[in-house]
A = this chain, B = another copy of it.
Amino acid sequence: MKTLSQYTIKRIMSETKRVTIQDIAKRADVSISTVSRVLNNSAAVGEAHRQAVEEAVAALDYRPNIFAKGLAGGVSMTIGILTQNISSPLYDAILYHVLQGIRDSGYSAIIADGQWHPDESRQSLQSLLERQVDGVIIIGGNNEEAHLIELAGAMPMVFVGRHIEGYEHLCICIDEYTGGYMATQHLLDRGHRQIAHIMGIATHPDAIARRHGYECALRDASIEPQAAWVVEGQFTQSSGVLAMEMLLTQGQTFSAVFAANDQMAYGARLALFRRHIRVPDDISIIGYDDQPHSGFTIPPLTTMRQPTDVIGRTATAAILDLLKGNPVATKPLTVDLIVRESVGRIYR
């Protein structure tokens, strides 16, 4: 039983016939230590030898055995990625760009899924560490901060979309407050004065920051935010439907809604559709994230764009730098307003 698969694996491996450091040592007529040294640039090597080795490496198409490397050197050439949830459009988009950046770095990525759950996240992170990943990129997520801090001091690690006290330079953060402010400001600019807000998960830092931006924008326009204008959602489409229904049945009067993410905006829009309320003619909607789909909703959704490509690239660059021992410093990223057709004008 077990032996069968063992056998099979052995077979393909022997077919592949890996070339080892021994082979290139022989061909370059040096010792394996020397080969290792030129490979890793870990000590001075005479120019003649170095060239001989490099020639052999190229000629034999040598690829180091990562297991041996891992065993001997404690280096796995692997970057662990902990994502908040695979199949969340936003995180996947970031993931995509991260993977992109890693692909030619010699490292490979191993992905673990936190499933939106602290316990799962912690366990996933643990399994990443057991695999002896050389570094970790944490995308979103809700691990206990204390655990992360402990780790961050001990191994290369970068955080995406999250603020960790004392490790700001490792955090690739979006200025969510300003994002919320800008979204609300856009509504204000178009003449709206009564603006509802569908908030994200109430404990989620991003949700809090966006709401804060919303309230400040309102105040700066001399409008006192009303508690009844904001209703909490779960960042999902169906919670958007519910939220909008709640707003409507409570008899709130408002001409525009700022949804804390696009998915909830979709849901809100559907709730409006059900009641034959037109968008943007009767009520305007603005979302947040600019998911790929948002350009194709009816009507196309005005929203705040997360620079997923920049986020992904920055995260990769940072972890790679960390791995090389270079210092890193990240700067906060900003969100762009994407004006489409879901926000109407109000003239007094």
Contact = CB atoms under 8 A, between A and B. Distances in A.
A87 B89 contact: yes
A323 B273 CA distance: 51
A113 interface: yes
A63 interface: yes
Contact of A66 (B3, B99, B131): B131
Contacts of A332: none
A131 B67 CA distance: 8
Contact of A127 (B108, B127, B130): B108
Nearest to A4: B325
B110 A8 contact: no
Contact of A300 (B41, B124, B270): B270
A130 B86 contact: no
A122 B124 CA distance: 29
Contacts of A86: 92, 95-96, 99
A318 B321 CA distance: 39
Interface string A127-143: 10111101000000000
A87 B93 contact: yes
A231 interface: no
A27 to B, nearest CB: 21
